[in-house]
Amino acid sequence: MKITMPQFWRELTEWQLDEIADLYLNADPADFSTAFQKMIFILLQSEPSSAERTKLYRILGKVSVEARQSMPIS
């Protein structure tokens, strides 16, 4: 499976921009690592569809248990 992520802000979808900006602006500084991890998950999805969530689950199936435990459900 080929994983592609945006390399520049202009490559983000409107949904990704909105979600990442909201997380960045409203994240608790004491727990920014959780918000940052959610940002990474958003980057791995191009939109909040079930197909994209399925793709994300496949990707996460290949990474550590810690990452899967804190995966956002959208």
Q: What is the pLDDT of residue 59?
A: 75
- Of residues 19 and 64, more confidence is placed in 19
pTM: 0.66
User: How many helices and strands, by DSSP H and E, does the chain display?
Assistant: 4, 0
Q: Could you give the 3-state DSSP secondary structure of residue 64?
A: coil
Q: What is the pLDDT of residue 18?
A: 94
Instruction: Round the CA-based radius of gyration of the chain to a whole number and report it.
Output: 12
Q: What is the pLDDT of residue 16?
A: 92
pLDDT tens column, 29-73: 998 888 988 898 888 887 778 887 787 777 777 766 564 455 555
Spell out a b/e string for 33-55, using b for 16 or more CB atoms within 10 Å of the CB, else e: eebebbbebbbbbbeeeeeebeb
